[in-house]
Amino acid sequence: MAGTRGFGVDIGGSGIKGCVVDLQAGTLEGERVRTITPHPSDPDAVADVVVKTVEQFGWQGPVGITLPTVVKHGVALSAANIDKKWIGTDAHALFVERLGRRTDEIVVLNDADAAGVAEIRYGSDIDRSGVVVLLTFGTGIGSAVFLDGKLVPNTEFGHLEVDGHDAETKAAASVKEEHDLSWEEWAKRVTRYLRRLEDLVWPDLIIAGGGVSKKADKWLHLLDVRTKVVAAELRNDAGIVGAAVAAELGVQR
C-alpha cells in the first residue's frame, strides 16, 4: 500500500531544498530546508548537503532526489548548471551509499521532469491531454514534456539555439537578475524562446515554473505566443514534491 508521506530533495544551481511531502495533497509538510549549493558543486559536496537535509527531518523512508542534469538509469549524463564532475557519475549509487538506503529506496531524476510530474499529478486545472510542456525558469531553463499525461523524460529544451545562442543564456530567470532587466525586457526574450519552442513541438499548453512563477502576474500577460501559458500551481516547491512522488512510485529512469 502506498504511503501518504514522502521526502524530496531538489538540487539546483543556486540552492538545495528538501522537505517531507504530503503525497495525498501534493504539499510540503512544514517549512522546507534550503541550503546554498556549494561551490564547487561536485558530487561529494552536494551529497554532504543532501545527507544533512534528510537528517534534519529525521526521515527514514525512501528519498527522491532531483539533479539539473540528464539522468538515465541513475547516471548523470550532463551538467549545465552544476559541476562538470557530475557527468558520468552514478548518482543513484552515490546517494544510496551516502544516505544508507536500499537501492529501491532512492530515486534520482531530472529536476524539471520532477517538477512536471508534480504539476501533472496535482495541478487541478491542468488539461493533461495532448502535448504539455513545463518550463522551469531559474539558474537555467529546464523542460519536461508530457503526452496525454505521460512523461517523455530528459528533454533539454532549455538549450535550444535561439538567434545563435543557447536559449537559457538569454532567457533564464538568472539572466534577468544578472542584467537587471525589466519584466518587459525579459518577457521579450522569453517570447522569442517560446516561439522557437512552438515551431518545434507545437504544444497544447505551456506551464511556467521556477521561482519567477510566484510573480506570474508581472510577466505572463506580456508574452506574445500562440500557446496558452499558465503559471505552475506548486510554484517553486514542484521539484521537491515531484521527487517525493517518484521515490514513492519507485520510478528510476
DSSP 6-31: EEEEEE-SSEEEEEEEETTTTEESS-
- Is 152 within the bounds of a domain? yes
Query: Do the domain assignments include residue 207?
Result: yes
Question: Mind listing the pLDDT tens digit for each residue in 29-81?
Answer: 999 999 999 999 999 999 999 999 999 999 999 999 999 999 999 999 999 88
Q: How far apart are CA 114 and CA 117, in angstroms?
A: 5
Task: Examine the domain organization and report whether 244 and 188 are in the same domain.
Answer: no
Q: Where are the beta strands (DSSP E) in the chain?
A: 5-11, 15-22, 27-28, 33-36, 63-67, 71-72, 75-76, 106-110, 131-137, 141-147, 150-152, 161-162, 165-166, 205-209, 229-231
pTM of the model: 0.91
In a domain, 120, yes or no: no
What b/e readout covers 203-229, taking b as 16+ CB neighbours within 10 angstroms?
bbbbbbbbbbbeebeebbeebebebeb
Residues 49, 201: Cα–Cα separation, whole Å: 37
Whether residue 21 is contained in a domain is answered as yes
Q: Looking at the structure, do residues 170 and 198 belong to the same domain, yes or no?
A: yes
Domain assignment present for residue 119? The answer is: no
Say yes or no: 174 and 225 in one domain.
Answer: yes
For residue 10, is it within any domain? yes
In this structure, the answer to whether residues 88 and 46 fall within a common structural domain is yes
Task: Walk along the chain (253 residues) and give the pLDDT tens digit of each residue.
Answer: 356 999 999 999 889 999 999 999 999 999 999 999 999 999 999 999 999 999 999 999 999 999 999 999 999 999 988 999 999 999 999 999 999 999 999 999 999 999 999 999 998 777 788 999 999 998 899 999 999 999 999 999 999 999 999 999 999 999 999 999 999 999 999 999 999 999 999 999 999 998 899 999 999 999 999 999 999 998 889 999 999 999 998 766 6
- Name the DSSP class of 193: H
Is there a single domain that holds both residue 245 and residue 228? Answer: no
Do 54 and 130 share a domain, yes or no? Answer: no
Burial of 73 (0-12, 13-18, 19+ CB in 10 A): exposed
Q: What is the CATH number of the domain that holds 172?
A: 3.30.420.40
DSSP state of 41: -
- Output the pLDDT for position 240: 97
Other beta carbons less than 10 A from residue 153's beta carbon: 18
Question: Are residues 30 and 13 part of one domain?
Answer: yes
Residue 118 covered by a domain: no
For residue 98, the enclosing domain spans 5-113+237-249
Residues 149 and 106 reside in one and the same domain: no
Structural domains counted in the chain: 2
Note whether 221 and 146 are same-domain residues: yes
